[in-house]
Amino acid sequence: MVTSAHEGMHRIFQERPEILNPVFGVLGVSLPKKATVDAVATDVTETRPLERRVDTVLRIGPSDGEDFLLAIESQSRKDLNKQSSWAYYVAYLQAKYDLPVLLLVVCQDPATAKWAVGPFDCGTRGWTAQRTYPLVAGPHNLPVITDARTAARNLPLAVLSAMAHTRSAEIDAILEAIDRALQELWATDPETAGYFYECLEVNLGDSPAGKKWKEIMSFVTYFPGRGTVRETAYLEGKAEGKAEGKAEGRAEGEAKAILRVLEARGIPVSDSARERITTCTDLPRLDAWLERSLTVGRAEDLFTEDADGSE
């Protein structure tokens, strides 16, 4: 079953391919800094009775050699069926695209990482017809990054490392270092910072590390449709307003959405702020407050621009 955490683990490679350079460095595979990265269709089904789908397939175009395909799989536990699936993926992709294929398996568990290294053989009676050697990234070879400056210099690797070290005793320090790096990045590139904030929320899920990260997070949603904390609160409140149909109902729904977002982010709401939100019937103003509720540090900051007369 593909979970949001499973999907988020490999989606980072699709949307932020710059992470590949440091990962290849950890794995001991030479890859020049100048390389093109393109997503390739992940469906490797020739006929429809049985669907086979790789998590991510990227075509790598290094500046110093021939192109190759990188098939990426996220593995949370030992699965004997993967031994044949991985061999199939490599053989099929090589035959379809006439390119060399490397298989990268990303693990969050040391025992799973040890198993995933293989090799996995297909053969009988002392003869090996095919042998699969996955590359494996996990807690055994991805560094533990607890220094904010180090995280800032190589943010994609730091985020992937946090995913791999979810169960580490140092996970709180890892997350705090990433948070400090992302706060600096937010000033110049809020879109990228927002992506990494919620990428970790999606991957860490309801684990103790995930709960720690939810306490840290304080920026707008970047993963629409992924059910992240703020997105859920935002959409539930908006939906209630739409269901009412009338202006009064829409205002009530907007107010509920604002309060839910603040609650989900752990922002205290005073009685006076709550009354101001729930009694407001100005829809444009409520929309503005709703947008601000995703980023403010205090409930009273919702009304800052109102006091300045810029509304």
130: amino acid identity, one letter: Q
Look at residue 47 in the predicted model and tell me its pLDDT. 42
Look at residue 19 in the predicted model and tell me its pLDDT. 66
Higher pLDDT, 1 or 109: 109
Determine the average pLDDT of the residues in 83-95.
90
Structure tokens at 196: 């990494």
Look at residue 260 in the predicted model and tell me its pLDDT. 78
pTM (predicted TM-score): 0.59
Determine the average pLDDT of the residues in 159-179.
88
Determine the average pLDDT of the residues in 246-269.
76
CB 253 within 8 A of CB 222: no
Look at residue 189 in the predicted model and tell me its pLDDT. 79
Look at residue 283 in the predicted model and tell me its pLDDT. 82
pLDDT of 115 over the 90 cut: yes
> Model confidence over 96-108: pLDDT tens digits?
999 999 998 888 8
CB 163 within 8 A of CB 171: no
Structure tokens at 296: 């403010």
pLDDT tier at 119, thresholds 50, 70, 90: very high
Supply the mean pLDDT for the chain: 77
pLDDT of 51 over the 70 cut: no
Look at residue 265 in the predicted model and tell me its pLDDT. 74
Determine the average pLDDT of the residues in 257-284.
85
pLDDT tier at 310, thresholds 50, 70, 90: very low
Among the listed ranges 11-25, 109-123, 125-139, 197-211, which one has the minimum average pLDDT value?
A: 11-25
CB 175 within 8 A of CB 159: no
Distance CA 283, CA 277 (A): 11
85: amino acid identity, one letter: S
Determine the average pLDDT of the residues in 262-289.
86
Q: Within a 10 A sphere around the Cβ of 261, how many other Cβ atoms?
A: 27
Look at residue 276 in the predicted model and tell me its pLDDT. 92
pLDDT of 128 over the 70 cut: yes
Distance CA 272, CA 303 (A): 12
Strand pairing class (56-62; 120-124): unpaired
Higher pLDDT, 233 or 260: 260
CA geometry: angle 162, 163, 168, nearest 5 deg: 65
pLDDT tier at 247, thresholds 50, 70, 90: low
Strand pairing class (135-137; 101-107): parallel
Query: Which of 14-23, 43-52, 93-102, 261-270 is most confident?
Result: 93-102
Cis peptide leading into residue 17 (ω within 30°): no
